[in-house]
Homo-oligomer: A and B are copies of this chain.
Amino acid sequence: MNTALTEIIPEEVINRLIDQAFEEDIGRGDVTTEAIIDEQAQAEATWTARGQGTIAGVTIARQVFIRLDPDIQWSPRVEEGEEVSPDSDILAMRGRVRALLTAERIALNMVQRMSGIATKTRQFVEAVKEFDAQILDTRKTVPGLRLLDKYAVKAGGGQNHRLGLYDMAMIKDNHIIAAGTIEQAVQKVRNRHPELKIEVETTTIRQVEEALSARADIIMLDNMSAAAMRKAVELIKDQAKTEASGNITLERVREIAETGVDYISVGALTHSVDAFDISQNLQQLK
């Protein structure tokens, strides 16, 4: 993955996130650094990986430091989506010590979350690599971070599901109950949004048949056993794409991929994130 997130996420989204982080973390100022560190003092700093994982978000870290030192010299040592081993360098930078210290936590908070997501995604992707199944994210993100989280999933080798409630239709149990049947639910959405793909959530083979005859584009097999999924995939063949969903764990994901589903969506990629440990070290500080 060669694409920097600052090229694919709107600048105002990134700027707003950084604004908020500065407001809540720095506020009136970094009282300690401002009292002690000379305004003109310069130093070099490196970021070092503390474990094995996949890096994402280094390009946003640069935007954070640049806010405090526009002249910072920036030398990333890895590309977005690259795997690193413990003690390997992630980036080096040279600039004002005040900027390096004051922006450190904000930048690390962002990159550690994003790299945590990329690392977990890569684990799922690796677990199913013998199969055709793609690992997808979900809408289980925290407010404001949707685009960063989804970028990190791609950095880890996953694919993005819909961005929100607006760019794809997803017909769930309550929609089906309200519409009467799957057929009627699909028809209502198709009449209103002929341009959008329609996914139908199913939990039984009976519902899979209904979704098929309603010509759903994607059929979600929700919380089904592997045996039921295999049967559903057999039935659907190439008439629709299939998505396995519901409490997908690293332990279960291989068995699910074996059923032949096209996609496996994993909420935990973004709702339960282990920060990837990175440390910042200063050199040449006088």
Binding site for B on A (CB under 8 A): 16-18, 20-21, 24-38, 41, 97, 101-102, 105-106, 108-110, 112-113, 116, 139-147, 163-172, 174-175, 177-179, 185, 188-189, 191-193, 196, 267-268, 271-275, 282, 285-286
- By a CB distance below 8 angstroms, the chain B residues around A175 are 32-33, 36-37, 101
Are A35 and B144 CB-contacts (below 8 A) given A101-B174, A164-B24, A285-B177? no
Q: In the A-B complex, list the 5 residue pairs whose CB atoms are closest, starting with the nearest.
A: A21-B143, A271-B275, A27-B166, A30-B165, A24-B146
A145 touches B146 (CB 8 A): no
**Which of A35, A166, A185, A272 has the most B CB atoms < 10 Å from its CB?**
A35
B174 touches A143 (CB 8 A): no
A24-B164, A32-B189, A35-B169 known, 9 other contacts, Cβ within 8 Å: A21-B144, A32-B169, A32-B170, A37-B174, A108-B140, A113-B142, A143-B145, A177-B285, A272-B273
B165 touches A17 (CB 8 A): no
Q: Within the assembled complex, what's the spacing in Å between the Cα atoms of A143 and B108?
A: 11
**Which of A17, A143, A192, A275 has the most B CB atoms < 10 Å from its CB?**
A143
- By a CB distance below 8 angstroms, the chain B residues around A272 are 116, 273-275
**Which of A41, A108, A112, A144 has the most B CB atoms < 10 Å from its CB?**
A144
- By a CB distance below 8 angstroms, the chain B residues around A273 are 272-273
**In the complex, which residue of chain B has the Cβ closest to the Cβ of A285?**
B177
Q: Within the assembled complex, what's the spacing in Å between the Cα atoms of A2 and B25?
A: 27
Nearest-neighbour CB distance to chain B for A27, whole angstroms, equals 4
B142 touches A142 (CB 8 A): yes
B166 touches A30 (CB 8 A): yes
| 7 contacting pairs across A/B (C-beta < 8 A) | A24-B164, A31-B192, A36-B175, A97-B174, A109-B141, A143-B144, A272-B274
A110 in complex: contacting residue of B21, B142, B165, B274, CB < 8 Å: B142
Q: Within the assembled complex, what's the spacing in Å between the Cα atoms of A102 and B139?
A: 12
B165 touches A31 (CB 8 A): yes
A17 in complex: contacting residue of B139, B143, B146, CB < 8 Å: B143
B38 touches A165 (CB 8 A): no
- By a CB distance below 8 angstroms, the chain B residues around A282 are 174
Q: Within the assembled complex, what's the spacing in Å between the Cα atoms of A171 and B34?
A: 11
B35 touches A178 (CB 8 A): no
- By a CB distance below 8 angstroms, the chain B residues around A26 are 164-166
**In the complex, which residue of chain B has the Cβ closest to the Cβ of A114?**
B142
A271 in complex: contacting residue of B109, B143, B145, B179, CB < 8 Å: B109
